[in-house]
Structure 1
Amino acid sequence: MGLNIMGAVLRRHAVIAVAAGALVTGLLPAVSAGAAETVPTSLITSSGYERKTEEVGPGLTLLTYENPKDDRIVHVLRTDPDVAPLTVESTTGVSGALLEKTTDMLKATTSTKSRWPHAGINGGFFYETPEGQAFMGISVQEGQVQSASCVRPRREAVLIQHGRPYVSDFTTHLTVSAPGVDPMPLDGVNRHPGWMRGCAQNSGTTDYPDDTNYRTNPSEIVAFTPQYKAPTPRPDGDSRFPEDDDPGAEAVIDARGKVLSLNPNGRGGTTVPAGGRVLQGIGSGADWLRAHATVGTVLSLQERVRDERFGDDIPLDDSVDIVNGSYPLVRDAKYAYTGNNNFVDPRTAIAVDGPGRTLFVTVTGKKVRNGATLDELARILLDLGAVDGLNLDGGGSTTLVVKETIRNRPVDTGGERPVADAVYIGHGGYGLYAN
């Protein structure tokens, strides 16, 4: 058995073992000792809430929880790949640099309409840039790192491998090396050198003094992948950050790592070659490129993703996608939320329940901007029998698409919000049809 298959099997067995133990001992749902006990446990078991069940396809069930006296509505898409040939996947759409609507991303997965995904939700956290967008944390598509993990604050993510999701804490370890030279850290992927929002992606990053949601670093090397599909960013991407003013240097390398060109005194406006990379450096990062990325030199790029929960590396092949999240909600069938976010807002979550089925969950308002706190969302997942669950991007991003129709109410005045990536239920797998 290959290492990548073995790792996926071990992770799946760990989840199944926890689920089986919880079901046998009657521990679903459960909360940690430090969590406040409430009766009922969650919104969906509150007085007045009723559940409607809709079979939207083989192995696909849509559960809707609503109360005529409450504006909030909970949608749960439950998918069972043991009943029908279904697979969980993710996508960044036609361009990793651009924000796109979830509905458009799903349709862009294939030109064959009959093979469009059955359903999908919006994915990870992102921020807007002059070129389009960048991720707040890790992103992996088909085994290639599209964004580095956060150093702080650390964020959980969902690994999607061989059509099944698994929630953990994943870290990226990225370097570039030249012959006879010690490896140099790659500080980021597919973002502006010099600044980032929402997380620090390397140890040299400092908080921007006027807005702690931004981090800056005057010395970096950032890689751009073919999936970026936009010209590389130019200096002065944001006037607030002088770290971004450095003209820096830029190297273009091919699929074998050979340096095709080096601009020692500038960067930006370059298209990433198929299979290759573009490296932008500022500060000491630019000095490294000028010294070692000369034309004809072969550079070596190393990408490693570590699962901090299991303490091992994830072999990166085209079966691996990772979508970033924030705040684990359920871990090993127990309440796991430890934050202090008490805002009521639209929410999106992904979870795996006791029998190993995938759950897409949204909480929104029926008429106005409404939703749940993260504590409430965690308790909803517990009442659904979740073994592991993760909060994804919410607010105006929250979108649940089933059979090409948006089932929740988007809160933006313009309707569905373009986002960075999406998680979807596609065709595939080897289902065992029930009698």
Structure 2
Amino acid sequence: MDLVGPLPRRRATALFAAGLLAAALLPATAARAADTAPASLITSPGYSGTAEAVGPGLTLLTYTNPEDDRIVQVLRADPDLAPLTVESTTGAGGALAETTTQMLDSTTSVVSRRPHAGVNGGFWTVQRGNLAFMGVSVQEGVIQSASCAVPSRAEAVLIQHGRPYISQFTTHLTVSAPGADPVALDGVNRHPGWMPGCAQGTGATADRSAGGGIFTDASEIVAFTPQFKAPTPASDGDPRFTEDDDPGAEAVVGADGEVLSLNPDGRGGTAVPAGGRVLQGTGTGADWLRAHAVPGTVLTLQERLRDERFGDDIPLDASVDVVNGHYPLVRDARYAYTGTNVKVDPRTAIAVDGPGRTLFVTVTGRTGRDGVTLDGLAAILLDLGAVDALNLDGGGSTTLVVEQTVRNRPSDATGERAVADSVYIGYGGYGLYATP
């Protein structure tokens, strides 16, 4: 396998460091000999790889086969070689999707400090014009979407102090009023009544009449944060769901927890105050708001983020971001995919390898829509030396941006798709203490 292909002479010095990575790029067949992963695409006959130094500590690996339209691209970031930091962003749009390129550009007005590279992030959908995450989302320590209620569906990547960590994270959200027991907040920044992708909260049930992957709950309290950046939704958001027909009730809560106003007979069209929340209730959730969210009352909102892998809570502060995924692909350097999805599609994954490097991996077609199965993606990640890896949103969302340029071919006919969030490699990191 030709790991270093023809490249401009001016990059020869930088590629010396890339050459030192060659051992890490070789197939990890022995490491997965006892696993059930299929053969890896990048080690199949006809495939070869090249390594391109795209910046300090950054190497772009590209695997192609002249007889196959698929292309595997791997952005490897090594924080030991340069001050690099992993971050995530939802961009400036809030409830509106943006392209990964737009999100990365909006992280700073200083062009020279824009992120080196990024990929599209977690799973999401559109609810009557506004996006909603299909799982947990945390931005700068504030929960922007509740997790799937079932821990086995709560896979995500936590990003803290510039490093990613992949596990299962569940959110635990409550609101309480003086003299009343706490009640659950079922969701964040989505329509009350129904949720796509996975059940959230405590009372959701699958609604098969509305199609696969839809869950409904007639009694909920849902919170909206300032990052929603849109008026709160009104009832009857979708004619398929009678649970959403309930006009419910809506309370506006200030940054100090004080209830600023209460609409006992309806909801929607309200701006979230800076630092505050808007609470929407339906069914018994609306009854609770009518009884306890009286203007002038101080409500207490509590948020917890739990790491199900180790059974402890993650303190929520401004250093914490979380991006949801679905299906762990590699765990502890072992094949970990347990799903039944055999669809061939463009794919995006994030991974960490043994030395602590971060990998962004995309598999797309060079001239048309193409990709791999999820177990095929897991096999690629194992051969790249991944210790932990998570599948992110794919299909038309799959996008790899390097130095403000989209490096893969998005499968949508219109080009790069607008998405809900992105993960990126930016400037930063931690230096080492100088020794005398």
Pairwise same-fold verdict (TM > 0.5): yes
Deviation at 1:48, TM superposition (A): 1.0
Please tell me whether the aligned partners of residues 83 and 432 of structure 1 are also in contact (alpha carbons under 8 angstroms): no
Alpha-carbon RMSD across the aligned residues, in angstroms, is 1.5
Q: In the alignment, what sits opposite 1:296?
A: 296
Please tell me whether the aligned partners of residues 250 and 263 of structure 1 are also in contact (alpha carbons under 8 angstroms): yes
For residues 34 and 215 of structure 1, the distance between their equivalents in structure 2, rounded to whole angstroms, comes to 35
For residues 428 and 81 of structure 2, the distance between their equivalents in structure 1, rounded to whole angstroms, comes to 12
Please tell me whether the aligned partners of residues 101 and 419 of structure 1 are also in contact (alpha carbons under 8 angstroms): yes
Please tell me whether the aligned partners of residues 89 and 160 of structure 1 are also in contact (alpha carbons under 8 angstroms): yes
In structure 1, what residue type is equivalent to 2:183? Answer: M
Q: In the alignment, what sits opposite 2:334?
A: 334
Q: In the alignment, what sits opposite 1:30?
A: 31
Q: In the alignment, what sits opposite 1:116?
A: 114
Spell out, residue by residue over 1:165-218, the C-alpha distance to the aligned partner (whole angstroms, 9 max, x if none): 000000000000001110010000000000010010023111112213111110
TM-score normalised by length of structure 1? 0.91
Please tell me whether the aligned partners of residues 84 and 432 of structure 1 are also in contact (alpha carbons under 8 angstroms): no
Residue correspondence of structure 1 range 243-262 to structure 2 within 5 A: 243-262=243-262
Q: In the alignment, what sits opposite 1:4?
A: none
Aligned: 1:189 with 2:192: no
Deviation at 1:367, TM superposition (A): 1.1
Q: What SS does the corresponding residue of 2:98 show, helix, strand or coil?
A: coil
Unaligned runs of 5+ in 1: 1-22
Q: What SS does the corresponding residue of 2:231 show, helix, strand or coil?
A: coil
Residues 432 and 234 (structure 1 numbering): CA distance in 2 closer, same or farther, change over 3 Å?
same
Q: In the alignment, what sits opposite 2:103?
A: 105
In structure 1, what residue type is equivalent to 2:420? Answer: A
For residues 339 and 288 of structure 1, the distance between their equivalents in structure 2, rounded to whole angstroms, comes to 39
Deviation at 1:354, TM superposition (A): 1.3
Q: In the alignment, what sits opposite 1:82?
A: 80
For residues 33 and 49 of structure 1, the distance between their equivalents in structure 2, rounded to whole angstroms, comes to 24
Please tell me whether the aligned partners of residues 150 and 171 of structure 1 are also in contact (alpha carbons under 8 angstroms): yes
Q: In the alignment, what sits opposite 2:306?
A: 306
Deviation at 1:132, TM superposition (A): 2.0
Aligned: 1:137 with 2:138: no
Deviation at 1:30, TM superposition (A): 3.1
Please tell me whether the aligned partners of residues 29 and 334 of structure 1 are also in contact (alpha carbons under 8 angstroms): no
Residues 223 and 112 (structure 1 numbering): CA distance in 2 closer, same or farther, change over 3 Å?
same
In structure 1, what residue type is equivalent to 2:73? Answer: H
Moved more, 144-153 or 284-293: 144-153
TM-score normalised by length of structure 2? 0.91
In structure 2, what residue type is equivalent to 1:57? Answer: G
Q: In the alignment, what sits opposite 2:15?
A: none
In structure 2, what residue type is equivalent to 1:162? Answer: H
Please tell me whether the aligned partners of residues 99 and 419 of structure 1 are also in contact (alpha carbons under 8 angstroms): yes
Q: What SS does the corresponding residue of 2:377 show, helix, strand or coil?
A: helix
For residues 142 and 30 of structure 1, the distance between their equivalents in structure 2, rounded to whole angstroms, comes to 36
For residues 32 and 202 of structure 1, the distance between their equivalents in structure 2, rounded to whole angstroms, comes to 41
Quote the sequence identity (%): 73
Q: What SS does the corresponding residue of 1:30 show, helix, strand or coil?
A: helix
Deviation at 1:33, TM superposition (A): 4.7
In structure 2, what residue type is equivalent to 1:44? Answer: I
Q: What SS does the corresponding residue of 1:111 show, helix, strand or coil?
A: coil
Q: What SS does the corresponding residue of 2:153 show, helix, strand or coil?
A: coil
Q: In the alignment, what sits opposite 1:364?
A: 364
Length, aligned pairs only = 406
For residues 254 and 399 of structure 1, the distance between their equivalents in structure 2, rounded to whole angstroms, comes to 38
Residue correspondence of structure 1 range 336-415 to structure 2 within 5 A: 336-415=336-415
Q: What SS does the corresponding residue of 1:291 show, helix, strand or coil?
A: helix
For residues 427 and 28 of structure 1, the distance between their equivalents in structure 2, rounded to whole angstroms, comes to 34
For residues 205 and 306 of structure 1, the distance between their equivalents in structure 2, rounded to whole angstroms, comes to 20
In structure 1, what residue type is equivalent to 2:363? Answer: V
1:96 to 94, 97, 115: 94
Residues 307 and 74 (structure 1 numbering): CA distance in 2 closer, same or farther, change over 3 Å?
same
1:53 to 48, 51, 54: 51
Residues 134 and 345 (structure 1 numbering): CA distance in 2 closer, same or farther, change over 3 Å?
same
Please tell me whether the aligned partners of residues 148 and 154 of structure 2 are also in contact (alpha carbons under 8 angstroms): yes
Deviation at 1:28, TM superposition (A): 6.7
For residues 197 and 344 of structure 1, the distance between their equivalents in structure 2, rounded to whole angstroms, comes to 22
Deviation at 1:27, TM superposition (A): 7.3
Please tell me whether the aligned partners of residues 89 and 425 of structure 1 are also in contact (alpha carbons under 8 angstroms): yes
For residues 35 and 219 of structure 2, the distance between their equivalents in structure 1, rounded to whole angstroms, comes to 42
Q: What SS does the corresponding residue of 1:73 show, helix, strand or coil?
A: strand
Spell out, residue by residue over 1:93-117, the C-alpha distance to the aligned partner (whole angstroms, 9 max, x if none): 1132111100000000111111110
For residues 336 and 128 of structure 1, the distance between their equivalents in structure 2, rounded to whole angstroms, comes to 30
In structure 2, what residue type is equivalent to 1:186? Answer: L
Unaligned runs of 5+ in 2: 1-23
1:73 to 61, 71, 77: 71
Residue correspondence of structure 1 range 233-252 to structure 2 within 5 A: 233-252=233-252
For residues 430 and 316 of structure 2, the distance between their equivalents in structure 1, rounded to whole angstroms, comes to 23
For residues 410 and 30 of structure 2, the distance between their equivalents in structure 1, rounded to whole angstroms, comes to 30
Q: In the alignment, what sits opposite 1:171?
A: 170
For residues 369 and 111 of structure 1, the distance between their equivalents in structure 2, rounded to whole angstroms, comes to 34
Residues 384 and 422 (structure 1 numbering): CA distance in 2 closer, same or farther, change over 3 Å?
same
Q: What SS does the corresponding residue of 1:71 show, helix, strand or coil?
A: strand
Q: In the alignment, what sits opposite 2:205?
A: 206
Q: What SS does the corresponding residue of 1:169 show, helix, strand or coil?
A: strand
For residues 32 and 183 of structure 1, the distance between their equivalents in structure 2, rounded to whole angstroms, comes to 51
For residues 57 and 431 of structure 1, the distance between their equivalents in structure 2, rounded to whole angstroms, comes to 18
Please tell me whether the aligned partners of residues 28 and 385 of structure 2 are also in contact (alpha carbons under 8 angstroms): no
Q: In the alignment, what sits opposite 1:158?
A: 157
For residues 259 and 252 of structure 1, the distance between their equivalents in structure 2, rounded to whole angstroms, comes to 6
Please tell me whether the aligned partners of residues 131 and 233 of structure 1 are also in contact (alpha carbons under 8 angstroms): no
Please tell me whether the aligned partners of residues 154 and 170 of structure 2 are also in contact (alpha carbons under 8 angstroms): no
For residues 27 and 68 of structure 1, the distance between their equivalents in structure 2, rounded to whole angstroms, comes to 24
